[in-house]
């Protein structure tokens, strides 16, 4: 485990303006996440957990505070730079899979590589490898509409890992799945992350998901309420707040 944290979040505050009213989504959050760690952010709807994820992914800018990933001050990057940064370093898994319906499974998985300008032969090979890893061999030419939710989410996982990003964000990855499929999908995600020494950040309201995490961060009303260390090997003891 690296000494220096891969993700450093320092005194981040996010305030939304809704007309005259100010809504504080995140109050003052600081925490470090290390390489190879699986961190689960647990909270109810409106707790601020999604806002936290969005800011770490560079989708939103904090009102105040710093977000440093691998030495890069993500909060200072402009949209184009942050897109490039995401392209190279971050994989996303969504609740509703968000696969492109006009593309086949193989094409959906290669999409991040297409954006990165990887040549066709190489990206097909990489995508096939990812498909094998999530158990989707033989589904190359299927379209999302011809697949079950669990299969679609496996495509989503393959798409997130295909470019070997350092960090994978998963926003309610099992929100649309039944408990049996949830277990299947989570096991695949964790296995992949562990094998590749990637960092996984899961945002969920589902306590069962937190079982898979090294650390579980409970968020409430824009503040970190509690950090629970489940697995010493994966996480750190650092206390926040």
Partner 1 sequence: MNNRDIVSLSIRNLLRRKTRSILAVTGVIIGICAIVAMLSIGFGLQEGFRESLERWGNLHLVTVFPTGGYGSMGMVYYDYGGGGSGSQDNKQVKLDNKAIGMIEGINGVSGVTPREDAYLTFGIGKYVAGMSVVGVRPEVLEKFNYEVDDGRNMRAGDKNVVVFGNQTTSYFYNPKKSWGSSYSGEPVVDVITDKIVVTPDWSYGQPQANQPDEENRTEYKEYTFKGIGVLGGPDNYDTAYYAYMPIDVLQKIREEQAKAEKQRYDKSSYSQAMVYVDDIENVKAVSEAIREMGFQTNSLNDALETMQAQARTIQTILGGIGAISLLVAALGITNTMIMSIYERTKEIGVMKVIGANLPDIRKLFLIEAGIIGFVGGILGIGLSYLLSLVMNTALLPVISSMIGGSGGSKISIIPLWLPLAALGFSTVIGVLSGYSPARRAMNLSALESLRNE
Residue 18 sits in the site that holds partner 1 (CB under 8 A)? no
Q: In the bound complex, what is the minimum distance in angstroms from residue 71's beta carbon to partner 1?
A: 20
DSSP strand pairing (167-171 vs 90-93): parallel
**Going along the chain, which residue ranges are E strands?**
7-18, 21-33, 38-42, 64-69, 72-73, 90-93, 167-171, 199-204, 215-220, 223-229
Instruction: Tell me phi and psi for residue 47, to 5 degrees.
Output: -75, -20
Q: Are 56 and 7 in contact (CB under 8 A)?
A: yes
Q: How far is CA 94 from CA 41, 159, 175, 213, in A?
A: 15, 11, 9, 18
Q: In the bound complex, what is the minimum distance in angstroms from residue 92's beta carbon to partner 1?
A: 5
Per-residue contact string for residues 161-180; x = within reach of partner 1 by CB under 8 A: --x-----------------
How many of the chain's residues bind partner 1 (CB under 8 A)?
A: 29
Nearest-angstrom CA–CA distance, 219 and 240 = 12
Q: Which of 4, 44, 64, 114 binds partner 1 (CB under 8 A)?
A: 114
Q: Which of 7, 57, 127, 131 binds partner 1 (CB under 8 A)?
A: 57
List, in order, residues 6 or more apart from 180 with CB less than 8 Å away.
none
Per-residue contact string for residues 70-109; x = within reach of partner 1 by CB under 8 A: ---------xx--xx-xxx--xx-xxx-x-xxxx------
Quick count: other Cβ atoms within 10 Å of Cβ 116?
13
Per-residue contact string for residues 131-160; x = within reach of partner 1 by CB under 8 A: ----------------------------x-
Q: In the bound complex, what is the minimum distance in angstroms from residue 19's beta carbon to partner 1?
A: 17
Give the footprint of partner 1 on this chain (CB under 8 A).
54, 57, 59-60, 79-80, 83-84, 86-88, 91-92, 94-96, 98, 100-103, 111-112, 114-117, 159, 163
């Amino acid at each position: 485990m690296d000494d220096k944290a891969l993700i450093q979040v320092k005194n981040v505050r996010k305030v939304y303006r809704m007309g005259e009213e100010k809504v504080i989504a995140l109050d003052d959050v600081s925490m470090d996440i290390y390489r190879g760690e699986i961190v689960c952010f647990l909270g109810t709807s409106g707790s601020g957990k999604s806002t936290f994820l969005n800011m770490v992914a560079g989708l939103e800018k904090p009102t105040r505070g710093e977000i440093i990933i691998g030495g890069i001050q993500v909060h200072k990057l402009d949209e184009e730079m942050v897109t490039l940064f995401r392209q190279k370093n971050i994989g996303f898994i969504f609740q509703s899979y968000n696969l492109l319906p006009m593309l086949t499974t193989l094409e959906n998985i290669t999409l991040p590589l297409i954006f990165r300008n990887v040549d066709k032969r190489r990206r097909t090979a990489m995508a096939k490898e990812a498909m094998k890893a999530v158990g989707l061999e033989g589904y190359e030419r299927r379209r999302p509409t011809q697949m079950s939710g669990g299969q679609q989410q496996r495509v989503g996982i393959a798409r997130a890992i295909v470019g070997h990003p350092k960090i994978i964000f998963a926003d309610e990855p099992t929100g649309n799945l039944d408990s049996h499929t949830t277990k299947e999908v989570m096991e695949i995600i964790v296995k992949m992350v562990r094998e590749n020494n990637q960092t996984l950040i899961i945002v969920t309201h589902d306590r069962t998901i937190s079982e898979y995490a090294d650390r579980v961060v409970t968020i409430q009303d824009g503040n970190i309420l509690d950090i629970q260390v489940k697995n010493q090997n994966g996480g750190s003891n650092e206390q926040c707040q």
